Each structure stands twice: as C-alpha cells, then as structure tokens.
Structure 1
Amino acid sequence: MWVFKILLSLFLFMNTLISYTFSNRIHSRSLTPLHKYDKKYIEVPVDHFNFANQDTFKLRYLINDENWNPESGGPIFFYTGNEADITLFAENTGFIWELAPEFKALIVFAEHRYYGESLPYGNNSFSDAKHYGYLTVEQTLADFVDLVTYLRSHQDGKHRKLSPVIAIGGSYGGMLAAWFRLKYPAVIVGSLASSAPIWLLPDLMDCEGVYRVTTSIYEVAHRNCADNIKHIWKEINNITTTGEGRSWLSKNWTLCQPLKAENYTQGFKMWLKESFLVVAMANYPYPTEFLGHFPGNPVKELCEHLKTANLRGKELLGSVSNGLRAVYNYSGKAQCLDWSTVGPTTFDSRGWNFQACTQLVMPVCSNGVNDMFEPQSWNIVEYLIKCEQQFKVKPRPYFITKQYGGKHLETSSNIIFSNGLLDPYSSGGVMSNVSNTSIAVLIPEGAHQFDLRESNQLDPDSVQVARKYYKQIFNEWIIKFREHY
C-alpha cells in the first residue's frame, strides 16, 4: 500500500508537474519572513456562479501599504497566488517589493482558494467532491476580482481614488495572471506572466518539450553530463533485480527508505527524474530555498561529478549519487536522502492533484532519444481514467482552452509573457508576441521565475534587462489608465 501511494502520487506529479515548490528531499526548512506585511482576510462566496450555494469562506491575503499613495490613485501590484501557502511566494518574489517604493504601490499577495489558510470548508475541504468541487480556475479568478474591488474602495474603510491594478504571477500563478487579464480586462490594466506554461495543455504542445529542454540545460553544463544521465535508468534496472544490488544502492546513495523490493524501483526512478527536473528549474547563480535548499548553479554542481565520458555500472551510479549529494546536501547536515517525499510542508498536493486531474491536465512525456530520461509515454485516456477513479468527478481537460482561447490570443492586450530559456517549462510558454501589446520576453540566462526574484549581484544581464523593461511597460500601462480615470 505504501508503494502504491507513492507511485500514484508521483504519477500525478510527473505528468502534471507545474508546482515548483518542491522541498529539498534531505533538508527540512522553515520560512523566515524577509518582508513586512499584514495578514488579512476577505469573505468571498464558495460558489460565485450559482445562487443555490450561499456558503462563504475567508480568503487570506498579505498586504503592505507603507509605500502606497491611495489619494493619487497609486497602483496595486497584485500577486495571483499559486498552489501553496501564499507566504512562500511573498518571500520569493522580491521584484515586487523592490518596485513598490518607486511606483508608490500597494503590495498584495492573494492566496489561492484551497491552499494555505484559505480552505472553504476547513478540514472537510477535501473530504469529497461536494466540498472540493469548487477548486477551479474560474472560481479562483472570481475571488481575485472580489478582493481587487474591495481594495480599491475600502482600504482601511476609506474611499480611495481608483487605482490601476497590475497582476503579477509566476508559474501557475503566472498562468492565473494571464487569464485574469484575458477574462477581466476591466479589472486589471495588465499582467506579468512569468514562466507561465499556458500552452502546456492537451493538443496545444508537444508533450516531450519539458524533458527536451531539461536535457539541454544539462548538456550546456557539460557535454558528457546528459549522456551519462541517459544511461542511469538501465543501470538502476539492472542493479535492483537482486537484493544485494538493492542493498548496495540503498547504502551508496544513503537512502532514508531502503529499496527493499524490486517493485520499489519505479517509484525511485520517478523521484530521480523529478529531481533532475527541479534542479534545472532552480538553476539560479546563487543559493536559494525556493524550490529546495540548493547551492548556486546546482546543475553545474551536479554535472561536476559526471564529466567523465561513458560512465557505466556502479561507477556511474556512484557518480550520480555524488552529484545529487553535492546539490541536495551541500550544507552537509543531512543524514540521508528521502526519496519517498512528494512535496514540501508548504505544498498541499491534495489541491494540486485535483486541479491537475480536472482542468490543468498537462501532458509531459519522454522518449529517451531526444532527452536523457527513460521513455515515458503519455496517454490521456488512461490518465483521465485514473483521475476519475481517484476523485469521483469527470475531468474537463479541454475546458481551459475553450475558456481562455488556447493559442488564439490575438485579441489579448497588456500581457507580458516572460520565459527563461533555461527553464524546462518554457517549452509550454508563449515564446513570441501574440498581439500588439501581448508580448513575449525571452531571457536566455533565466531559470524558472528568475525575473521575479529579488536583485542579486550575480544576476545575469538578461534578467536585469528584463526587469527594467517591465518597469517601463508598467509605467506606460499606469499612464494610460490615468488618462481615462
């Protein structure tokens, strides 16, 4: 049963991976607030679109008004919350905090329903479909509309001049920021959608893209690195066929949960595949704790141990182990590698697994030829059957495309789609302009959500240039808004 639960959870993660808040598998941590904000709540309907359900709940948001000038209609920088506790993103989106003083802006981080403290039915929120069926993109955006409306008119109970609102989000939050502008252009003046794979949906993108880009990132780090990783899967299959081999691997890799049986192998390999992906996403030039407790340039650190060409057998397995140890345990404090962990304490997989099964069905596969991973096919029929069995609801994999236009965004306006070329999920992002004012910003040296992070002396030029460009565009949006209000 333990193995089955791990495999099922990993199946959902690996086929719908859009949460980028994975914990370090061998290092637990707690968030220490870096920024000053107040925690507040607004009461919103559980169901914005049906009069039959009159239930409400308290949606949490974080707010900082120390720079805001409401009398003159100072702007509101509105972060569209992700699939985790909102404090995680408030502490890792330094770009907003740096920008607010210059624009005299109000900072708001809105929590996504069903995550963090914003649970519509408390401990019963995930008890059955009757309770968790309100976890949808459209309900979430309607929450944000209510919050924006309230903030514009009732900050501290006083009537204020209408403030322009700019939605900012990264990853899934970036998808929400883009859809917010598409759905409610009268509510927000524009959106910055960072690392938002809004086209990583059925029939819109090649499912092999995520792992192809991941592979290229390791190839850039060292020419032999990806090729060595490509052979790790066969070696794991071979050595785990015997108890002696499993014992050697468990000891050599210092696994917290030894590979006691051969049927553990698939779950272990899926965890390893996920690890290579997350390390690539977190490939920042300085140490971070956003996607895990990683050193600077973690892909390079890992590949330092895989430079020798044609590694095979136990030599290859030991080299990969050393590489992972250099990344996951660079602090030297960890005792073992916890490969059974699926998500950190700040990430609630209950909510994301449901979304990934119902609306945000994201095809991810590998073929082992154009990428460094073991072949993994994508079959939407099988995937949806598993989802329906788990959640007892009928998935709607094409709903988002029908609702928000898919690739037909030529009528959209005032959206910045930014993607780092060192981000695996850029494969599902908007990589070219889709209208006169909905534009693509490509960041050659950018990892996942790099542009939303706080400034650092190690930031590459392309990230710094992108941030300066955002400021220019924000200013243009605000000026045009004030010409009409």
Structure 2
Amino acid sequence: MTNPFTAIPKEGRIHQPLNHFGIKNTKTFPQRFFVNDIYWQRSDGPVFLYIGGEGPLSKFSVLYGQHSLSLSQNKEIAHFTITFCGHHVEMAERHGALVVALEHRFYGESINPDGLDTEQLKDLSSQQALADLAVFHHYISQRFGLSYKNTWISFGGSYAGALSAWLRGKFPHLIYGAVASSAPVHAQLDFSSYNKVVGRSLMNKEVGGSKKCLTEVREAFAAVEVALLMGNEMQLAKDFGCCETPVKPQDKTELMQSLADVFMGTVQYNEEGVAFNIEELCHIMTNKSEALNQKEEAYDRLIKLAEMYLARMDAPCLDVSREKFVLELNSTTGRSSYRAWLYQTCTEFGFYQTCEDDTCPFSHTINLQSQAELCSQLFNIPQYSLPVNIDFTNQYYGGNRPQTRRVLYVNGNIDPWSELSVTWNDAMVDNDRVILINGTAHCADMNHYKALDKPALHRARKEIERRVAVWLTMQNGTI
C-alpha cells in the first residue's frame, strides 16, 4: 500500500453563488476544497467525494488519519466535532479513485466575506450546501475531463453523513451511491432520546459501563442539585473549577450542562479521541472510598472527574456564565462554527439534547426552553417557528424513512445520534442499506484500520467495502 503521507493534496477555491436560488443575487463566496489524485486511474476511475460538515475541513479529508477534535464546553446542544478520515481513502486506493473534498459553506475558511451576522446567515442551509456540491461536481468533472464512466460515490459523517444521503436523494443523476455514517437524517426539536442512549451506554458492559456506573452518575448530579438548592454556589464553583460563581438561575443550568457535556461527549465518541472513554469514566465514578457515605462519594468522584477533564482538555476553568456564552455567540466576526451551527439548528434541525425525560441521568434543568430561547436571542427567530422549520426539513428529505436506493446508513449502537438515523432495512426501498455496529460510537467506521479496533468494527468496514465495490461493478455494467 502506498505511504499515505507521500501524497500532497491540492487545495483550491471555487467561487460559489451565495444564493443558488435567487436569480438576481450575483454575490459569491470562496469555498475551499481538496483533491488527492495519486490513486486515480484517469480513464474510468471513480470519484470519491468527502463532504465537509459543521466545522473546518483539512487536507486529512483526502488522506489517512484522524485530524482533529473540537469540543465546546458548556454548549446547550453538546456540540462535539471530530474529523474522521481514512477509510474512504483506503478504498480509493483499491479502486483507483480520485478523492475530492468540499468544505461546507460558512464553516472553516469558506466564510461569506460579510461575516456571520443574521442577515448573511440566511444563505446558510442544507439545501444551499447540496447545491454547492452539485456545482462542485460540475467543476471537478470539467477540470479533470470526467465522463459518465467516472462513477461518483459520496461519503460523510454526522451532519455531513445526512448531506451524503440527501445528495444521493436529490441528485441521483450525479451521485451513484452514498455512504452515510452516523447520519441524523430525521430532524427533531426535542431530542430527549439522546440522553436516554447516553444512560443506556453508561450501563453497557461491553464498552466498560455498568448499572453501578449509571447509579453513581445520577447520585452525583442529584448531589449537585441539592447543593444549588441549599445556596452553596461558591463551594460548587470552587469544587468544579468554575470560571465564575453560578449565582443566576441560567448560570446554574450552564453548570449542569457543562458537567453533563463530559459524559455526553464521552459516550458520543467513546474511544475515538475525547478526554475519556466510557470504561475509564465509569471506573472513576465507581471507585469508592469507605471513609465517605454514598452521596458524598458520588459528588467527590464527580469533582475528580471534572478536574481531570479540565486538565486533559487544557482548559483553565469550567465556563458557567450564560451571559458570556450569549455574548460570544453574538460575535459575527471570525470563524465561529458554533454560531453557524446553532443557526442551522434553529432554522432546520432542532437536535436539542434535553434532560426533562426521567431516563436522563443528569439534571432536569437542561430543558428545551433553555436551549430554544437562543434562537430568538441570537437570530430573532421566534421559538414558535421551530416546529414548522423542522417539519419542513423532514418533509423535504423524508426523515428517517427516505425513499432512496444505494444509500448505506452506518451506525454504532452506543451512539446517541443513531436514534435519528436509519437503523432498519426496508425491503420496499432497499433491503441492503443498513449496518449497525455493536459496541461502537459516532462515526467510528470512517477512521482507517487500527489493530485495536473491535472485531465488529472490522467486519463493518469490510461490509462497507463490499457494498461500494458492488455499486462500482453495477455502474460499470459488469453485473
């Protein structure tokens, strides 16, 4: 196999219309892309399109290896982003494919020159992103002299996984097959089942969880709530290394969210690069000292976990100021991926990971109101419009019952986002379109092969490779 680091991908910019659907709008923005043609069999080799999501794209989107982790503490929709790369490039080498990747508009360096103010963000949507991909398809086809013989397969993970599925659905004449990893194709306002899966995964013995672990987590958060009710905010701030003392009600909710984010991020990615994995987290939360009673033990272990988390994330303190959070999100300069993504949750997806359900192991103060109100505060989007926006998204794309063929949905069973993906086969549409991987988390299949990967993950990658190979053979007319 070719040394993956000998390839030097080409980086470029394509000038895209800010509004593909406005005839009178002639404004454009520079959209970044990467190309790796080291494996390409130029006559009839396929094209593997890696789709960028809600964060910066890098050259590793067309190379092997895991690029980056970006974790936002104390964010109401628990926005954890890891760039997973490698498996599609390994397949590209075997199939002689041209590998191309396009950064999503309004993320990374593909920012509208006018910034991220609300008026400009009106041009940010999944529909515009799909149109960007269609234009990019045309651009690459012209630049490399492609024809119908060059089969396009799209790849994406998480939101970009949904884009991969939707691109195949909306542009089937351009994309022959699509791999959609951990793709939340069903928009949902109150995503309470996210934390239901977090609780279930913390009990999963196969990944290092236990019923005891979940019990201790519940008791720890109950102890924090009691401390808040008793007015012990200063002690809590000291115990958990808070940047500020959580005196205001909204700051107390921020504290709960920040602590919950440690567990949510751990479960979502588990062994793929966050501060802890589930086994280590549960070991910390169940390592009891006989000198303390049960409730104090759980609380003290949560303190230890928070201390270790801050150290591993190289964070000076735990943000708990709602006012500071809103102020940062109101900044329209720079490249705030979180502001852009929050706008999309308000206008298209929801995805608010609440804790009002009894299955949630954290605090009921993490509710829908505390999250949805940001839409009106930041973008003047009334909360009553959110259900309408989300219903439109599901009507437009088909939700988790899409009527599309040759879309492969890949999910890990401990990933909370699998709740919004397609996890069953539908013989009426395509009886061979689902892979559910036991014991793996968010987008794990997208990384390149590692010796320590679970056997189920190895088998899943082999199955993905088989499906892609079948698609290419079908398109070439061999079968």
Q: Output the TM-score relative to the length of structure 1.
A: 0.80
Higher relative contact order (CA 8 A, sep 6+): 1
Contact 2:219–2:295, Cα closer than 8 Å, also in 1: no
1:141 aligns to 2:134 (yes or no): no
The separation in 2 between residues aligned to 1:405 and 1:74, in whole angstroms, is 32
The separation in 2 between residues aligned to 1:88 and 1:425, in whole angstroms, is 26
Q: Aligned pair count?
A: 430
What's the CA shift for 1:59? 1.0
| Residue 326 to residue 311, structure 1, CA distance change in 2 (3 Å) | farther
Deviations 1:239-260 (A, max 9, x none): 23567x33433333333x1425
| Residue 477 to residue 217, structure 1, CA distance change in 2 (3 Å) | same
1:446 aligns to 2:440 (yes or no): yes
Task: Give 1:110-121 correspondences, 5 Å limit.
Answer: 110-120=102-112
1:402 aligns to 2:395 (yes or no): yes
**Among candidates 118, 121, 128, match of residue 118 of structure 2:** 128
1:53 aligns to 2:25 (yes or no): yes
| 1:24 alignment partner in structure 2 | none
1:428 aligns to 2:420 (yes or no): yes
Aligned residue for 1:399, secondary structure, equals: helix
The separation in 1 between residues aligned to 2:371 and 2:473, in whole angstroms, is 47
The separation in 2 between residues aligned to 1:413 and 1:69, in whole angstroms, is 27
| 1:218 alignment partner in structure 2 | 202
The separation in 2 between residues aligned to 1:278 and 1:137, in whole angstroms, is 24
| Residue 313 to residue 196, structure 1, CA distance change in 2 (3 Å) | same
Contact 1:412–1:438, Cα closer than 8 Å, also in 2: no
**Among candidates 228, 244, 267, match of residue 216 of structure 2:** 228
Deviations 1:163-193 (A, max 9, x none): 1111111000101111111111111011111
| 2:64 alignment partner in structure 1 | none
What's the CA shift for 1:224? 1.0
The separation in 1 between residues aligned to 2:256 and 2:142, in whole angstroms, is 53
Q: Which amino acid aligns with 1:43?
A: H
| Residue 350 to residue 369, structure 1, CA distance change in 2 (3 Å) | closer
| Residue 181 to residue 107, structure 1, CA distance change in 2 (3 Å) | same
Deviations 1:361-404 (A, max 9, x none): 22533345323122258668x97665245313565222211111
1:87 aligns to 2:58 (yes or no): yes
Deviations 1:376-433 (A, max 9, x none): 58668x9766524531356522221111122442x31001111101111111221101
Contact 2:34–2:59, Cα closer than 8 Å, also in 1: no
Task: Give 1:191-210 correspondences, 5 Å limit.
Answer: 191-202=178-189, 207-210=191-194
Q: Which amino acid aligns with 2:394?
A: T
| 1:323 alignment partner in structure 2 | 305
What's the CA shift for 1:207? 3.6
The separation in 2 between residues aligned to 1:88 and 1:40, in whole angstroms, is 11
**Alignment gaps of 5+ in structure 1:** 1-32
1:462 aligns to 2:456 (yes or no): yes
**Alignment gaps of 5+ in structure 2:** 62-66, 68-83
Contact 1:77–1:108, Cα closer than 8 Å, also in 2: yes
Identical residues among aligned pairs (%):
24
Task: Give 1:8-47 correspondences, 5 Å limit.
Answer: 36-47=8-19
| 2:227 alignment partner in structure 1 | 239
The separation in 1 between residues aligned to 2:300 and 2:60, in whole angstroms, is 36
| Residue 430 to residue 376, structure 1, CA distance change in 2 (3 Å) | farther
Q: Which amino acid aligns with 1:439?
A: R
| 1:172 alignment partner in structure 2 | 159
| 1:302 alignment partner in structure 2 | 281
Aligned residue for 1:417, secondary structure, equals: strand
| 1:364 alignment partner in structure 2 | 353
Q: Output the TM-score relative to the length of structure 2.
A: 0.81
Deviations 1:42-86 (A, max 9, x none): 122111112111112221111111111121x21111111111101
| Residue 390 to residue 430, structure 1, CA distance change in 2 (3 Å) | same
Contact 1:413–1:436, Cα closer than 8 Å, also in 2: yes
Aligned residue for 2:399, secondary structure, equals: coil
The separation in 1 between residues aligned to 2:35 and 2:302, in whole angstroms, is 44
The separation in 1 between residues aligned to 2:246 and 2:27, in whole angstroms, is 48
What's the CA shift for 1:201? 2.2
1:190 aligns to 2:162 (yes or no): no
What's the CA shift for 1:441? 0.6
| 1:78 alignment partner in structure 2 | 49
- Give the aligned CA root-mean-square deviation in angstroms: 3.0
Q: Which amino acid aligns with 1:317?
A: Y
Contact 2:445–2:461, Cα closer than 8 Å, also in 1: yes
